[in-house]
Every structure is written in C-alpha cells, then in structure tokens.
Amino acid sequence: MALESTIISHGMPYPQNVETALNVEKVIRDNGAVPATIAIIGGRLKAGLSKDEIEYLGKTGQAVTKVSRRDLPIIVAKEMDGATTVATTMIIAAMAGIRIFATGGIGGVHRGAQKTFDISADLDELSQTPVTVICAGAKAILDLPLTLEYLETKGVPVLGYKTKELGAFYSTHSGLSVDYQIDSPKELAKAIFVKKELDMKGGILVSNPIPEEYSMDETVINKAIDQAVREAEEQGIHGKESTPFLLARIKDLTGGDSLDSNIQLVYNNAKLAAQTAVELSNLG
Ligand code: PSU
Ligand code: MN
C-alpha cells in the first residue's frame, strides 16, 4: 500500500517527519501489508523508498519540490527530486498496481475559494484515479462543507469508518456527515473490489477520525487555524505555498501540540489501510 512524501517534506518538521515516516512503515508491516512510500528521485518515479531516501526528503524539507499532478511530467523531464502530494501519489500508486493509500489529511476546497479558486488537485484526482485514500478527514484550513459538495459533484464515494461523521483531522468531530458508514476492513475491501468490478474510474475517500484520546480541543485548534488563515491572506500566500504555510503556522501557534495529534492519526490510518489491503488481496 502507498504512502505520500509531501507529508514528510512539507507537512511535518524534521526530525519528527522522518521518525513518523519510518514508524508508519513498521505499523503497516506489523499489520500484514507491504508499505511503499512514493516520491520522485532524480526524475524516477519510486514506489518504495530506502531509509536514506526518506531521511533525505525529511531533512531537505520545503526545499524539495512539492509535486502535484501538473508538476509531475516536468519534474521527471528535468530529472529532479520531488515530494508527491495525495494527487501525485495516487497517480504513481495506480501505475504500480497499488490500490490503497494512507495519509493524514487531503487537500480540498480552501476557505474563500469563491474568490481565490483554490481547490486542491487532490479532489479531481479522486474522481479519476482508482486508489482508495484513507485520511482523518480534512483540516479546517479548508471549507469542509464545500469540499464534500465538490466530491459529490465529482462522483467520489466518501465513507466514514465506524461513524457517519466526517473527521476534522486534529479533532474527532466536525459535525458534518459523510455518505456512508463502513464498520470493518473487510467491508471496505468489498466496496473497493465492487467498484473495480463495475469498471468505474476514480477512487474512494475514507474518513477515519482521530481516536478521541488524541483529539485536540476544538476551541484551541480552531483559534490557531483562524489566525493562520488570516495571516496567509494578509501576506498574500497563494497557490501551492498555501497548504504548507498553513500547516507550519498551525504547528507553531499550538506550540507543537498539533504535531502529536498529526502523528497519531497517521498511524491510525496506516493500520486501517494495512488491514484493508490484506482483506483486498484475499478478494483477488
Ligand atoms: N493536508 C494535511 N497535511 C498535508 C497535506 C494536506 O493535513 O501534508 C499535503 C498533502 O500532500 C496534500 C497537499 O496532497 O498537502 C495538498 O496541497 P494543495 O492544497 O496545494 O493541493
Ligand atoms: Mn491549492
């Protein structure tokens, strides 16, 4: 199963990013699946990185190019290194025949998108590339109701694991509902299998809310998010810089507390993804 690399280089600080990336691979192996962290190294698409390559991406951080769909052919042509977003990780995973992918949070419709048009390429990717993405919902740096509307328009199934409430990334509860609830890795594997049998393009998005014991206080986290969004607007941050800027500011504003939650939810998603991958391989 797949793991992304933008979360390593742009989503978390060094050295916690490398530590998390290596631990998450262990969680996957402990649950019976095979991890493939995806990135571009010297223009080569890689599904499965060495420890040294993960260390390199983590240490280089934001200096590595963040590669979404539009960047992919150019970075390969220029034989550069790239950290892959959810969209690009899905593309490379599909090429490698990988059907399941665990991450932290996906990109979505940003707050204020009515004016800025800032909608992550992750959402369109989910509508065209056959990879199931397991995340902890989405951060409130996004407009969550609009993100759900967009996914509905694009025909992407959105499932909640053991709940119909969408996860709010750092916190368990968002107050928003997803389409369907699934209650086991086996049930999820069947949905993935059936979608493929029906020859439908696109993926499935699974929201696996952060366990209550790691959930952040909603007032604290929302205050930090509001401030980060305000600062981004004031400083004219836009385009691909927007998400990394917000993630880094939120971490600083919460004094690092958000990072602990972030790490735990990634492990939680990796475990569910690994168990689902095992069930899916039993189905063929
Ligand atoms: N959201 C997070 N953590 C992340 C990202 C998003 O909570 O690390 C990263 C993922 O790699 C995602 C990308 O695919 O940011 C989305 O960027 P953009 O909004 O520019 O498409
Ligand atoms: Mn964007």
Decide: 121 in ligand 1 pocket, CB within 6 A.
yes
For ligand 1, say whether the CB of 7 is within 6 Å of any of its atoms: yes
Cα of 284 vs centre of ligand 1, distance in Å, is: 31
Residue numbers of the domain that contains 154: 2-279
Atom number of ligand 1 nearest to Cα 240 = 20
Would you state the pLDDT for residue 109? Answer: 97
Q: Residue 266: inside a domain, yes or no?
A: yes
pLDDT tens digit string along 133-190?
A: 999 998 889 999 999 999 999 999 999 999 999 999 999 999 999 999 999 999 999 9
Q: Which of 72, 106, 166, 170 to mutate to test the pocket of ligand 1 (most atoms within 8 A of CB)?
A: 106
- Amino acid residing at 39: A
Instruction: Please give the tally of structural domains in the chain.
Output: 1
Indicate the top mutation candidate among 7, 68, 126, 142 to test ligand 1's pocket, ranked by most ligand atoms within 8 A of CB.
7
HSE at residue 14, side-chain half, CA atoms within 13 A, is 11
**Residue 86 pLDDT:** 98
**Rounded Cα–Cα distance for residues 229 and 9 (Å):** 21
- Other C-beta atoms within 10 Å of 218: how many? 16
Ligand 1 atom index nearest CA of 4: 11
Ion ligand 2 contact residues with beta carbon within 5 A: 118
Residue 22 lies in a domain: yes
Has residue 157 been placed in a domain? yes
Above pLDDT 90, what percent of the chain? 95
Give the model confidence (pLDDT) of 32-91 as tens digits.
Answer: 999 999 999 999 999 999 999 999 999 999 999 999 999 999 999 999 999 999 999 999
Tell me, yes or no, whether 284 lies in a domain. no
The answer to pTM > 0.85 is: yes
How high is the pLDDT of residue 139?
A: 86
Query: Nearest ligand, CA of residue 259?
Result: 1
Supply the CATH number for residue 6's domain.
3.40.1790.10
Question: What is the whole-number distance in angstroms between the Cα of residue 283 and the centre of ligand 2?
Answer: 36
- What local confidence, expressed as pLDDT, does residue 120 receive? 97
- The pLDDT score that the predictor gives to residue 284 is 80
From the list 4, 281, 279, the residue with the least C-alpha distance to 133 is 4
Residue 257: pLDDT band (50, 70, 90) is: confident
Is 86 touching ligand 1 by the criterion CB < 6 Å?
A: yes
* Burial class, 265, CB count within 10 angstroms (exposed 0-12 / middle 13-18 / buried 19+): buried
Sequence-distant (6+) residues with CB within 8 A of 73 are: none
User: How does the average pLDDT of the chain come out, rounded?
Assistant: 96
Of 19-28, 229-238, 250-259, minimum mean pLDDT range = 250-259
| C-beta of 55 in contact with ligand 1 (< 6 A) | no
Q: For residue 243, tell me if it sits in a domain.
A: yes
Ligand nearest to the CA of 133: 1
The yes-or-no verdict on residue 110 having pLDDT over 90 is yes
Atom 11 in ligand 1: residue holding the nearest Cα = 85
